[in-house]
Amino acid sequence: MNILLIGSGGREHALAWKLAASPSCDKLFIAPGNPGTATLGENIALDVSNHAAVTDFCRAHDVGLVVVGPEAPLVAGLVDDLAAAGIKAFGPRSAAAQLEGSKGFTKELCAEYAIPTAAFARFEDLAAARAYVRKKGAPIVIKADGLAAGKGVVVAETLPQAEDALDMMFGGGLGQAGAAVVVEEFMSGEEASVFAITDGKSFIPFGDAQDHKRVFDGDRGPNTGGMGAYSPAPVVTAEVHQQIMDRIIAPTVAGMAARGTPYVGVLYAGVILTAEGPKLIEYNARFGDPECQVLMLRFRGDLVQVMLAAIDGRLDALPPEQLAWSDEAALTVVMAADGYPGAVQAGSVIRGVDAAGGPDVMVFHAGTKTVDGALTAAGGRVLAVTARGATVTEAQRRAYEAVDRIDWPQGFCRRDIGYRAVARERQAD
Ligand code: AMP
Ligand code: GLY
């Protein structure tokens, strides 16, 4: 079967690697892809916002499965339009992608189905939002309702910070995404990313991970898309995992089906483990980046068969070998261009990437570009150096050894990815 993967980040290089390894994959196309995906299939230029063009490409190249990496095409209804043309596509339809596309939508679903999450209120008016924030006090969390590329959340430690965030969002600082704002109770606890693949009726757990969102060591500095991750997350014990499945994932899948907008695809729950148990922070309608990179290093099943079973509504009939996971841990370190998450300069040359990989190490590309035969930086997050190991500690050591083999003076990375898990492993010794 020919497969078309949409996206160009480290997540997509990891997905491409797993899809290409499936016995069911004949030819893999990636739109637009990156130099890493080019080693696994054919990168193509395709305007993915033009759904008719994507449909035409699939027909012309006999594509039997489309895999959508990022959220924007999901929210825009690419899967709806492909399905209408009879083309199988993995990912939720537009109405179901609202779980990521609208925080207010998710909050209302949580309220209707008693899914544990922060108390909240949604506002379309600055004066009312300001009055509510003053009544509640700080710390408090201000979120743009729409998609804001990870920049739409302000955890305000003081009331003036909260009011500044409201002014910025209602003042158009995030464009249309801030036309409505959700104000949330501040929750405290350790965070984890938990994944499930669903066919609209049933679901299978699909691993867990811990991301590192802040740009600098010790979780300091501004939020980013993610500077590193590891899987599994020891903080998600078997008991906690079961609670997340029973109290968060199961009612979401059932609720979306009951509303007539079944969710098909990967459901990524950002959870926080509070003193009262796990609570949902947010949903994403896609794999996490860089969480996907560590999940793919651990997943031993057949990703193509899992995705097709989800689309066809027969997840519960999948043979166990198509769902196998390695017991090993995986850890990924993101190498970013100096200045990230602010402005970065493109074009610096990166050496040593091919030699840095090995049997337990994959260097996934994100923002890279080949210029005159040289690998160069072409984005904020540039590489995701990902390693397997018997423990998180071992995976961490291998990942940083590989990082140190890469010669890129204009890049940086956090040196403490996995620190919580490494401390737990040390304690357990
Ligand atoms: P989000 O984009 O919704 O994942 O939020 C980004 C980050 O803001 C999360 O990973 C949390 O660290 C933090 N955050 C969001 N909502 C809350 C909340 N209600 N309480 C505490 N922290 C939060
Ligand atoms: N790593 C966080 C995300 O993909 O949203």
What pLDDT, in 10s, does the model give residues 106-141? 999 999 999 999 999 999 999 999 999 999 999 999
Residue 21: give the domain boundaries: 2-93
CA angle 326, 327, 328 (to 5 degrees): 90
Quick check: helix, strand or coil at residue 191?
Answer: strand
406, 341: one domain: yes
- Based on the domain organization, do 296 and 341 belong to the same domain? no
* One domain, residues 195 and 288: yes
Query: What is the count of structural domains for the chain?
Result: 4
**pLDDT for residue 103:** 82
The reply to whether 334 and 318 lie within a common domain is: no
How close is the Cα of 268 to the center of ligand 2, in Å?
A: 9
Kindly report, residue by residue over 143-196, the tens digit of the pLDDT: 988 776 666 889 999 999 999 999 999 998 887 777 889 899 999 999 999 999
Which residues 6+ apart lie within 8 Å of 402 measured at CB?
Answer: 356, 357, 358, 361, 363, 385, 387
Mean pLDDT of 254-261: 97
CATH number at residue 84: 3.40.50.20
Q: Are 92 and 264 in contact (CB under 8 A)?
A: yes
- Residue pLDDT, tens place only, 33-81: 999 999 999 999 999 999 999 999 999 999 999 999 999 999 999 999 9
* Whether residue 276 is found in the same domain as residue 301: yes
The structure's pTM equals 0.94
Chosen domain end from 323, 346, 362: 323
198-222 tens-digit pLDDT: 999 999 999 999 999 999 999 999 8
35 shares a domain with 150: no
pLDDT in the model for residue 208: 98
The pLDDT assigned to 149 comes to 62
The reported pLDDT for the residue numbered 146 is 78
Alpha carbon separation from 292 to 14, 106, 120, 299, 418 (Å, rounded): 7, 23, 29, 10, 16
d(CA 361, CA 242): 31
Q: What is the 3-state composition of the chain as percent helix, strand, coil, each rounded to the nearest 5?
A: 35, 30, 35
112 within domain boundaries: no
64 closest CA partner among 91, 86, 32, 88: 88
Residue list, ligand 2 pocket, CB within 6 Å: 211, 225-226, 284, 288-289, 291
Q: Would residue 346 count as lying in a domain?
A: yes
Nearest ligand 1 atom to alpha carbon 103: 3
Q: Is the pLDDT of residue 366 over 70?
A: yes
> Which tens digits make up the pLDDT trace of 331-342?
999 999 999 999
CA–centroid distance, 292 to ligand 2, in Å, is 9
Q: Are residues 86 and 66 in the same domain?
A: yes
Query: 41: how many CB neighbours lie within 10 A of its CB?
Result: 20
Pairing of strands 89-90, 120-123: unpaired
Q: Residue 318 pLDDT > 80, yes or no? A: yes
- Counting ligand 1 atoms within 8 A of each CB, the residue from 110, 214, 272 with the most, and so the one to mutate, is 272
Q: Which ligand is nearest to the CA of 191?
A: 1
CATH number, residue 296:
3.30.470.20
Average pLDDT, the chain: 95
Would you state the pLDDT for residue 150? 61
pLDDT band at residue 93 using 50, 70 and 90 as cut-offs: very high
Pocket test for ligand 1, best of 186, 210, 281, 284 (most atoms within 8 A of CB): 281
- Tell me the ligand closest to 270's alpha carbon: 1
Going from the C-alpha of 42 to that of each of 30, 48, 59, 170, the distances in angstroms are: 6, 16, 16, 43
Domain boundary among 117, 147, 179: 179
CATH code at position 388? 3.90.600.10
Q: Does the pLDDT at position 414 exceed 80?
A: yes
Give the C-alpha separation, 277 to 296, whole Å.
Answer: 28
- Ligand 1 lining (C-beta closer than 6 Å): 118, 141, 153, 155, 184-187, 191, 213, 270, 281-282
* pLDDT (average), residues 99-111: 91
In the reported structure, the alpha carbon of residue 155 is separated from the centroid of ligand 1 by a whole-number distance in angstroms of: 7
Q: Report the pLDDT value the prediction gives residue 302, as an integer from 0 to 100.
A: 97
What CATH number corresponds to the domain at position 167? 3.30.1490.20
